[in-house]
Amino acid sequence: MGDYMRFAFMCREKKQGINAKIAVVGAGPAGLAAAGFLVCSGYDVDIYDKLPLPGGLMTFAIPSWRIPPNRVLEGVKELEEKFNVKTIYRTKVYAGEPVHEEGDDFTEKKISIDDLIAQYDLILLATGTWISKIPKMPGVNAKGVTTALEYLYKWKIYEYNLASIKPPYAKKAVVIGGGYSAIDAAEKALKTGAEVHLVYRRTIKEAPAGIYEIERVKREGVSFIELASPLEIIEENGVAVGVKFQKMTLGPPDETGRPKPVPVPGGEFTLEADLVVFATGESPTPPVNPSKAESLGLKLNKDGSIWVNNIMQTSISKIFAAGDVVTGPSRIGPAIRSGLKAARFMHNWFLAKKGKTTTQIGVFA
Amino acid sequence: MSPDPAIKYLRVIDLGKCIGCGACEAACEFIHEKPYIVVYRTSIGLDIPVSCMHCAKAPCIEACPTGAMTRDNSGAVYIEQSKCIGCLACLYACPFGIPELDRATKTATKCNLCMELRKEGLEPACSAICPAQAILFGEDAQVFQLAKKRTAESMARARFEFEFHSSK
């Protein structure tokens, strides 16, 4: 029973024999799980990440009482020490004009994806979803308006002593959303002294975080308001002072199969707030600007995710992709599944290309 | 019939620590091509991982008419495929609804605590990959101690918070 995540759970030591180098871009759950499989299959693996520590959202967003950071950090240490994985932090792999993402603050070095293509036999892109979506409405650029990912990330880097600036103290926080990041942001604001309203446009029954989690933070003191959707951020001299909401009711199912929230005529109300946190989803962040992607030949989907074929290979044959940058925001489990699958496809594709027979390492019926 | 070999190793899932992320299910599915630990989203929104308990007095072993359901010498309950007739008496006997019928082999299947990995001195994939350390696997005494140590930690924390933060 180890005290850390064993990313290379299918082997005791690095396999010898394959003389090939792989770059994994993104040290989150998908990238780390893939690295674990690849060292067990005998590859030399280098992992790149823009942040100073590995783990992605496991380390930089999810509260440490849910995932103890050391469990991730020690797990990566094992990859380094026992499996010769090289970790290259504070290094952003990117091509084209950069787009601002959360977690960019620590980037000291930029590497173009072309350089990786030249240096490595295979590349895995597992760069996640580091841009938060904020619905269009007046006032979202006011001071005091942020996103759950940015808010949780700022607290994390302060707690790890990676930043000296303490996130701003809030007296009255409004968190908008119904998923896990909304729960975690609301709880963080509450524990740091704020009065917190958590506002969701459907009811507790539809909330992706589930009834249990919402009841748990309610018991801790978060006020949960269901069936309300933000209309505008009220600002004074560029600073948020409140949020105006529209009362909603549940209508017929929408394209996701959940009942669609529809406005209740005349039902408007305002909540005071000096901190407004949008927990309304994140978007895929491939390591390439959309316009550059085209000239590079890396196909992206409409939503910005990386296009892959049925063996998780991108439109550039030596580049594969896995995790949230392919699927959109998911959870740790699906990201790990995706990373493992992509790694096995990479291995089989590489052997087939070399004219060797494929071996199904790690498969026991 | 010879007595069951002694239970030496145990897996215990600490539901208080589980965050429902599904990492165990993903790693299990990768190893076995089908997950033998599955995280279910329940009606109250709490995600619960379900897998074989490897019972000390396993009803499935008792109910199996051919002796296919058996226990290895570390304590894991597993199925000897060649002896299994696919009758699913094990499923009827199991209080947790664990065994499943494999259509291709026409035999029962379930978690064997990653027998192949354990043979190489590794731990089961589910406990190895769990980010929350919710899956305890080890020698029985060690697991029992760790479970109680966690209780002690949480009681201490509750008392600490009551004494120093209750006036908030």
Q: What domains can you pick out in chain B, each with its CATH number?
A: 9-165 (3.30.70.20)
* Residue with token string 């003191």: A221
Structural domain contains residue A308: yes
Question: Do A100 and A160 have their domain in common?
Answer: no
A residues 34-73 lying closer than 8 A (beta carbon) to B: 58, 62, 66-68, 71-72
pLDDT in tens, A241-252: 999 999 999 999
Tell me what the pLDDT averaged over chain B comes to: 92
Of A230, A263, A278, at which residue does a domain stop? A278
Q: Indicate which of B8, B13, B14, B19 best probes the interface with A, i.e. most A CBs within 10 Å of its own CB.
A: B19
Going by pLDDT thresholds of 50, 70 and 90, the confidence category of residue A361 is low
pLDDT at A1 over 70: no
| A148 and A76 within one domain | no
Backbone angles phi, psi at A172, to 5 degrees: -130, 115
Q: For position B163, what pLDDT does the model report?
A: 81
Shared domain check, A267 and A149: yes
Number of domains composing chain A: 2
**Cα dihedral A28, A31, A32, A34 sign:** positive
A364 has a pLDDT exceeding 50:
no
CA distance B112 to chain A (A): 11
Residue of A168, A162, A216 whose CA lies nearest to A189: A168
Contact list, A363 vs chain B (CB under 8 Å): 31, 33
* Interchain CB contacts (distance < 8 Å): A and B: 111
Q: What is the pLDDT of residue A256?
A: 84
Interchain contact B22–A (C-beta under 8 A) = yes
Q: Calculate mean pLDDT across residues A213-240.
A: 97
Query: What is the CB-side half-sphere exposure of residue A308 using CA atoms within 13 A?
Result: 26
CATH number reported for the structural domain that contains residue A221 in this entry: 3.50.50.60
Of A107, A94, A123, A125, nearest to A26 by C-alpha is A125
pLDDT in tens, A295-304: 899 999 999 9
Do the Cβ atoms of A332 and B120 come within 8 Å?
no
Question: Whole-angstrom Cα distance, residue A243 to residue A240?
Answer: 8
**Between these two residues, B7 and A221, which has the higher pLDDT value?**
A221
Q: State which amino acid sits at residue A218.
A: K
The answer to whether residues A109 and A195 belong to one domain is no
Q: Which domain holds residue A78?
A: 21-130+282-353
- B17-30 b/e with 16+ CB inside 10 Å = b? bbbbbbbbbbbbbb
Which residues, at least 6 apart from A224, have a Cβ–Cβ distance to it below 8 Å? A197, A198, A200, A204, A214, A217, A218
DSSP, collapsed to helix, strand or coil, labels residue A352 as helix
Tell me whether B84 touches chain A (CB under 8 Å).
no
Subunit contact B128:A29, Cβ cutoff 8 A: no
For residue A16, tell me if it sits in a domain.
no
Cα–Cα distance between A275 and A241 in angstroms, integer? 8
pLDDT at A359: 55
Are A196 and A289 part of one and the same domain?
no
Q: Which residues of A touch B44 (CB under 8 A)?
A: 210-212
| CA-based nearest distance A150→chain B, Å | 21
**What digits encode the pLDDT tens for the residues B52-108?**
999 999 999 999 999 999 999 899 999 999 999 999 999 999 999 999 999 999 999
Residue A363 lies in a domain: no
Q: Please tell me which residue, A362 or A264, carries the higher pLDDT value.
A: A264
Is residue A310 included in any domain, yes or no? yes
Residue of A332, A338, A345 for testing the chain B interface, max B β-carbons within 10 Å: A332
Check if B8 contacts A (Cβ < 8 Å): no
Residue B4 has pLDDT above 60, yes or no: no
Confidence category of residue B165, pLDDT binned at 50, 70, 90? low
A187 shares a domain with A249:
yes
Could you give the CA distance from residue A56 to residue B121 in angstroms, rounded to a whole number? 30
* CA-closest candidate to residue A304, choices A337, A282, A333: A282
Chain B interface mutation, best of A200, A202, A336, highest count of B Cβ atoms under 10 Å:
A336
Last residue of a domain, one of A236, A257, A278: A278
Range of weakest confidence among A128-132, A350-354, B160-164: B160-164
Chain B residue at shortest CA distance from A5? B129
In angstroms, the CA A61 to CA A185 distance is 9
A295 and A271 in a common domain: no
Of the candidates B146, B166, B161, the residue with the CA atom closest to the CA atom of residue B13: B146
**Per-residue pLDDT tens digits for A110-132:** 999 999 999 999 999 999 999 99
Predicted pLDDT of residue B161: 79
Nearest-Cα residue of chain A relative to residue B135:
A1
In a domain, A359, yes or no: no
Same-domain pairing of A154 and A190: yes
A209, part of any domain? yes
**Mean pLDDT, chain A, whole residue set:** 94
Q: Is residue A5 part of a domain?
A: no
Asked if A224 and A308 sit in the same domain, the reply is no
Q: Are residues A254 and A344 in the same domain?
A: no
Q: Based on the number of CB atoms within 10 Å of its own CB, is A350 exposed (0-12), middle (13-18) or buried (19 or more)?
A: buried
Same domain as A158, residue A59: no
Q: Which residues have CB under 8 Å from A238's CB, separation 6+?
A: A142, A143
**Least trusted range by pLDDT, from A6-10, A19-23, A351-355:** A351-355
- Evaluate if residue B11 carries a pLDDT over 60: yes
- Whether A164 is in a domain gets the answer yes
Among A256, A278, A300, identify where a domain stops.
A278
In the predicted structure, residue A356 carries a pLDDT above the cut 70: no
Residue range A225-238: mean pLDDT, rounded = 97
Residue B167 has pLDDT above 80, yes or no: no
- Per-residue pLDDT at B7: 64
Residues A195 and A150 in one domain: yes
Name residue, tokens 């005071």: A272
* Predicted TM-score of the model (pTM): 0.94
pLDDT tens-digit readout, A134-145? 999 999 999 999
Per-residue pLDDT, averaged over A54-80, amounts to 97
E strand or H helix at A342 = helix A332-353
